[in-house]
Structure 1
Amino acid sequence: MNNNTIVLTGGGTAGHVSLNEAIIPELIKKGYKIHYIGSYDGIEKTIIQENFPTLPYHSISNGKLRRYFSVKNFSDPFKVLYGTLQALSILRKVKPSIVFSKGGFVSVPVAIAAKLANIPVVIHESDLTPGLANKIASSFAEHIFTVFEETLNYLPKEKASSIGAIIRPDLFFGNEEVAERLTGFQAEKNTLIIMGGSQGSAKINEVIKDNIEALTSKFQIIHLCGKGNLDATLTGKPNYIAFEYVTDELPHLLKISDYVISRAGSNSIFEFLELKKPMLLIPLSIHASRGDQVLNANFFENKGYALKLEEEHLTTKSFMDTLSDLVKYKEEIIDKQFTADSSKTPDQFTELLLTYKK
């Protein structure tokens, strides 16, 4: 067992990678060697290799875990089995003192392999209800940390605890001048940032396009539209700029943003909450997901931290009407946001994580 080596895993969406991104520098500063186990072609591979090019990345096979019938349900367990054998081989070579999992399908074979190798596994669950991958992996875990206290109702109470959100400190260091250079906008004007998730949202993008004249007459629009979704017909439009996806630029763009329209992934909405940004949440539909974003959005709406517009009710008119309400109730929303519990930093979280290593 190498006490200075830690294995991280998690992938499938940017949300399953962002916490790992945040804690890698903290762990390196503490003298740890980091290895990452992910899929062959998932977004986690792109993010980790682009941001940490010298960090060893190991690819394994993984099968999708479905709650519905599919013929692939018969073949994917064999992919998980093969991935488990691959992960076991990697862990025996690397000999980490702990495995940290952020969830996603690729994390399941890693958690199983770690259990077989007698290496402690710690999981982090961001959503109100655990994802299927984390539900399965929790059986092999030493401990599960959650963001929402309500999530503890779905996990073994003897090995789960709620610690609140973990927020990257760099989010607080956005620079208006950098943002103005990136966008050509003026910080003193009302600015609206629209985020459809790492893959973008065709429906949100369509509503933005349909309302572009009304939107740009009232706001400067920063539109994060998703990879491959740039619309050439909107290029050069006054008061409008689009990016496929941003990373290091995001703190600067949020710095000049007065309002946020976003999906309702837990990591992102807690970041907006910490920054005290009035937000309109359009959660991913239950028809396209397990419904975790709907639950997250409901929680924020009930707390008064945000307004919500479900995708099934998203139209050109409903979008503009709800956006008007967001502007109208801006101060009330910010007042509620100031009542929220404080968050933890990645450094504070790594201290908690390291208490479980061998």
Structure 2
Amino acid sequence: MPKAVLTGGGTAGHVMLNLALIPHLRARGIDVAYIGSRDGLERRLLAAAAADVPYYAVSTGKLRRYFDWQNFKDPFRVAAGVVEAARLLGRLRPDVVFSKGGFVAVPVVLAARLRGLPVVAHESDLTPGLANRIALPFVREVLVTFPETKARLRHPRVRLVGGVVREALLNGRREEGRRLCGFSSPEDRARPGRAKPVLLVTGGSLGARKLNEALRARLDDFLARYAIIHLTGEQGYDPSLRRPGYCQFAFAREELPHLFAAADLAVSRAGANTIFELAALGIPMLLVPLSRAQSRGDQIENARSFERRGLARVLPDEAVTPEALLQAVTALEAEAEAIRRRLLEARDGLIARPEAVADVIAAYAGGPSPD
């Protein structure tokens, strides 16, 4: 049986595509294993979603973009990870390695090259992350999400696949999402126009402290206009904050499709996975990308791409105050129908199913290279 090794981790964005691919690879007769870090988020997410997939851990370095004494140790950790991954790959004998990026992917990709194995990499953001830039010379093919990325990458095989969205996310039920949050009442069901619009606020899997604080500082004003679903991240969850019309989750798993289905508007960081998920569902969004002081600027590029096409409004992180956030959401609501229409019109060119990526991996695992 052909075998594929999946790797990637650090944040949920580096893991969720891999999880979505597993059933499609298995449906194509491909055995799957996962290589990640010893204590990363990827181990927990895989255990929750596909506990029967073998998980192997290797040493990793953080690949920081700032000074830290740990930077002196990280090259040795990466080198140890390469040795460990090479041994694992020798034992597992996969036909292909698929890398979703993140620091854990670097030693696995380098080890695959040493073993002579083809590597397919996927880049969600408009500008490649550091891990994918390091891995690029050792990759057989790169799959990208934004058309702008294809023009920027210097690689002989770059394939535009669009934003890959998990099928489960498209099957949420609006009424179930409202019920989970306590927004649905007999009066609302009898008079649909009576219900407030639902505003989803999310900072991604790690949360967004600045968004959390700005929202909560004007919570009364927001609740006067909206019912709020707040995905806070583990550090931002406040169990003492209980208000009618305000529903918070530290991290949503099986509830997430229903919560997204319930949303009429969204405020979000601009990580590629989240914005393409919102786009697939036609949810008008206010994007608040991480600043260059906090990141490499990838979210700014993602947000600008959507803004240029009229698919989102953008509020720079540096401009976030409680008042500015409320004004920006109000402006988004005024434009919501026009943005929703553009999202639905653009959806076929924006969104890909996991099958598209699984087909590429399957071709390397058991057949000729894809055309």
Instruction: Point out the more displaced range, 178-187 or 35-44.
Output: 178-187
- Cα displacement (A) at 1:49: 1.4
Q: C-alpha displacement at 1:154, in angstroms? A: 3.4
Aligned to 1:334: 340
Do residues 354 (structure 1) and 362 (structure 2) align? Answer: yes
Residues 4-61 of structure 1 show CA distances to partners (whole Å, capped at 9, x for unaligned) of 2110000011100011011011112222221100001111111111211121111111
Unpaired segments ≥5 residues, structure 1: none
CA distance in 2, matches of 1:67, 1:179: 39
Q: SS at the partner of 2:352? A: coil
CA–CA distance in structure 2, aligned partners of residues 239 and 88 of structure 1: 52
RMSD of Structure 2 on Structure 1 (CA) = 1.4
**What is the distance in 1 between the residues matched to 2:344 and 2:25?**
30
1:282-321 correspondence runs (5 A): 282-321=288-327
Corresponding residue for 2:45? Answer: 47
How many Å apart are 1:152 and its aligned residue?
A: 2.2
Q: What is residue 238 of structure 2 aligned with on the other side? A: 231
Q: Is contact 2:280–2:351 with CA below 8 Å preserved after alignment? A: yes
Larger deviation: 19-28 or 330-339? 330-339
TM-score by length of structure 2 reads 0.92
User: What SS is found at the alignment partner of 2:252?
Assistant: coil
Q: CA deviation at 1:342?
A: 4.3
Identity within the alignment, %? 42
1:348 partner letter: A
Aligned equivalents of 2:175, 2:65: Cα separation in 1? 47
Alpha-carbon deviation of 1:72? 2.8
Residue 174 (1) aligns with residue 182 (2):
no
Q: Does the 8 Å contact 2:3/2:365 carry over to 1?
A: no
1:222 paired with 2:234, answer: no
Aligned to 1:23: 21
- Could you tell me which amino acid in structure 1 is paired with residue 116 of structure 2? N
- Partner SS for 1:353: helix
Which stretch of structure 1 is more off in the superposition, 71-80 or 266-275? 71-80
Report the CA distance shift for 1:154/1:65 in structure 2 as closer, same or farther (over 3 A): farther
Deviations, residues 171-204 of structure 1 (Å, cap 9, x unaligned) = 2211133223311113742111111111111111
Give a deviation string over 1:243-299, Cα, whole Å, max 9, x none.
101122111111111001111000110111111100011111211111101110111
Structure 2: runs of 5+ lacking an equivalent = 367-371
Q: Distance in 1 between matches of 2:258 and 2:91?
A: 41
Counterpart residue identity of residue 39, structure 2: D
Kept in 2: contact 1:278–1:326 (CA 8 A): yes
Q: Which moved more, 1:175-184 or 1:191-200?
A: 175-184
1: distance between equivalents of 2:232 and 2:88?
37
Q: 1:66 aligns with which of 37, 43, 64?
A: 64
Q: State the aligned residue count.
A: 355
- Aligned ranges for residues 129-168 of structure 1 at < 5 Å? 129-168=127-166
Task: Return the alpha-carbon distance in structure 1 between the equivalents of residues 17 and 215 of structure 2.
Answer: 30
Distance (whole Å) between structure 1 residues aligned to residue 83 and residue 352 of structure 2: 35
Given that 2:203 and 2:268 are in contact with CA atoms closer than 8 Å, whether structure 1 keeps it comes out as yes
CA contact (8 A) 1:130 1:154 kept: no
Structure 1 residue identity aligned to 2:335:
Y
